[in-house]
Chains A and B, each alone.
Chain A
């Protein structure tokens, strides 16, 4: 596989300083190539969400480098960083933040319109990606749809445009098992079609859809299923 879509090299993140300093990440190196789904697991407070925020440029590392689509984020001005995020990075959160007064299609169009794409084209793109994720009634409002359908819309919104990096934080949150499996099937399919995804989850069954599962513990990568098979005892 070619260059990684996202690469974290020796990333640390310290909140606060002095004796109160909290080391959220301690020298984490991780990358995801196009086509790869990487799951990050770990107990609460292990640094999972910080890792995702740093990978997507929502938070800056204290040291180390983050590169998205070959561009080191550290060198970017705030405006450039915002543009890179909009163009290349899609977020899916547990609280999906769909706007209730907008239809499914309008929710998906929004990031493209913010990016200066004309309404007609934004709508075409939105309808196309919504069809791909299995939303057949794009004119409906979020409240009229099931939890699983709303999460599909959030994924469509994360993917619309040319964005190849998906950052998903507990995207299966309150969904039942079959619906959660469907959402993972969707993420998996998008990765198989060339996207890269980092998935934070505490659910082993969803992590198991990934090509690689990384276990985070106290801000460090404690283990990974990609490492050579070690003896179990």
Chain B
């Protein structure tokens, strides 16, 4: 199981994949025409619904690395001290390559929740309260995302970003339901007839109750 030895690499991997996404994202924006740094920041945030806020320092650090790598060129400072950045041919090639290449599962950050539940189950802890608390918290997130999405109907890029986060939260909810059902089933099979499931009241709920 790969997730079991992934814990401490989690953070740096995440930071790496986020900074790669910002770098490539800014390059894609520049492929539409020359931009100032602050313009890139505004456009990036507008199209992702400010879900990943960028600070302007991040933008300029990223731009200077892109310039160092020959993917953009920086123009002369104008009277207000602003610099226009332009994508190079190499930059365009890089953008096309990035858009064409599928994102590998292993490049994505590890999931803390999966590790938490796996460890708790392995250690024999009662994970039902963990599942329940997480389900409520994830549902609150899902409610917030749904509200944000209703407000972003007119912004297709933003809306698709929110849709992605909604699908992810939804998958997490389903997975939590699944964990609960699987753990309930396995605890039932481990029970002996002499020891009825007293702490889990209602375990004998009959399936024909719902009509």
Binding site for B on A (CB under 8 A): 15, 22-24, 26, 43-50, 185, 188, 203-205, 207-210, 213, 215, 217-220, 222-225, 227, 230-233
Contacts and interface: CB of A to CB of B under 8 A. Distances in A.
A54 to B, nearest CB: 12
Contacts of B108: none
Interface stretch (B21-29, B96-104, B202-210): B202-210
A216 B184 CA distance: 16
Contact of A22 (B143, B177, B205): B205
Contact of B142 (A49, A188, A205, A231): A205
Interface stretch (B50-58, B64-72, B165-173, B187-195): B165-173
A90 B146 CA distance: 25
Contacts, number: 86
Interface of B: 130, 132-140, 142-143, 145-146, 150, 166-167, 169-170, 173-174, 177, 180-181, 201-203, 205-207, 209-211
Given A218-B205, A232-B137, A208 B177 contact: no
Contacts of A50: 209-211
Contacts of B136: 215, 223-225, 227, 230
B210 to A, nearest CB: 5
Given A24-B209, A44-B210, A205 B130 contact: no
Nearest to A188: B150
The binding surface of chain A is classed by DSSP as: mixed
6 contacts: A23-B205, A45-B206, A205-B146, A208-B139, A219-B202, A233-B133
Given A50-B210, A215-B132, 9 more contacts: A22-B209, A26-B202, A204-B169, A204-B170, A218-B201, A218-B202, A227-B136, A230-B133, A232-B133
Contact of A225 (B140, B145, B177, B211): B140
Given A45-B207, A232-B133, A233-B133, A23 B142 contact: no
